[in-house]
Amino acid sequence: MTDLAQRITALFAEGASADRPESREAFFALQRALDAGDVRAAEPDSSTLSGWRVNAWVKQGILLGFRFGDVVDQSADHGRWPFFDKDTMTLKKPAPSEGIRIVPGGSTIRGGAYVARSVVCMPPMYVNIGAYIGEGTLIDSHALVGSCAQIGARVHLSAAAQIGGVIEPVGALPVIIEDDVLVGGNTGIYEGAVVKRRAVIAAGTILTGSTPVYDLVHGVIIKPEPGQPLVIPEGAVVVPGARAVTVGAGKKWGLSLATPVIVKYRDDKTDTRTELESWIR
């Protein structure tokens, strides 16, 4: 994909003055590559602290699609369900042979998102452009996978889980959820946070790029390093917690702030409880 990356980088640098037909052609080539999983917005890289690196040119290509797309009528049900979007932002239409279950009920996957075999999509859910969904993953009702987010294999995104997306800045790492992670209901993971494999994020937990996480097991506070994302360790079990406000009127009033807490690391007992999801696949 070196040639396509170079084309996109050059066109993006030209801004609004870039050749329109060429920009659209480059975008659609990128969209096909993303659909097939041949290209990813971010990919594993053991040389980085997070274990991942960004492919900024992929985001640049997606931005070309927005910049040089025309707003058109994309209404459904013979126009009775109105939608209007850029003509470059097409919808993914998997064939039955691809082995993806999209249960009826109002789900949408944008073109340029990779969805592997045996993924289950419960209605209504949404997967945005540039996202990557590994095999055997379950995306439950009202769950969102934002633009360029990377979801591993055999992940369970529970009902109303929100996985944030990022296109700009192009060098920013998207949210990464590695293999065999359980993300609980009403959980929000944003701003390029990285959740390592086999972690369990309990219902209602909020993780952002600047969230401190209190590890009770090891007695440390996990914070993002300068220029690096928040990284939840492998196998960590993270639950919503609270910490006391010790300054100003907060101390007087007995206030506390919400904070994620690692209460344990995944063991056989945890695995027994979480493996029940496999029965619905």
Mean residue pLDDT of the chain comes to 94
* 98 within a domain of the structure (yes/no): yes
pLDDT for the residue 138: 98
**What secondary structure letter does DSSP report for 8?**
H
pLDDT exceeding 70 applies to what percent of the chain? 96
Checking if the pLDDT of 277 tops 70, the result is: no
Q: Which of 148, 160, 136, 173 is nearest to 50 (CA)?
A: 173
Residue 228 — very low, low, confident or very high, per pLDDT cuts 50/70/90?
confident
Residues 111 and 59 in one domain: no
Residue 190 to residue 178: CA distance in whole angstroms: 15
Give the C-alpha separation, 250 to 243, whole Å.
Answer: 11
Question: Which amino acid belongs to residue 242?
Answer: A
Examine residue 79 and state whether it is found in any structural domain, yes or no. Answer: no
Mean pLDDT of 79-100: 95
Query: 98 has which bridge partners?
Result: none
User: Is the C-alpha dihedral spanning 198, 260, 147, 226 positive or negative?
Assistant: negative
Q: Are residues 166 and 104 in the same domain?
A: yes
If asked whether residues 13 and 148 sit together in one domain, one would say no
Q: Are residues 62 and 95 in the same domain?
A: no
Q: Which two tokens stand for residue 17?
A: 């003055």
Using only C-alpha atoms, what is the Rg of the chain? Answer: 20
Q: Are residues 118 and 242 in the same domain?
A: yes
Classify residue 175 by its DSSP letter: P
127-156 tens-digit pLDDT: 999 999 999 999 999 999 999 999 999 999
Q: For 176-193, what is each residue's pLDDT tens digit?
A: 999 999 999 999 999 999
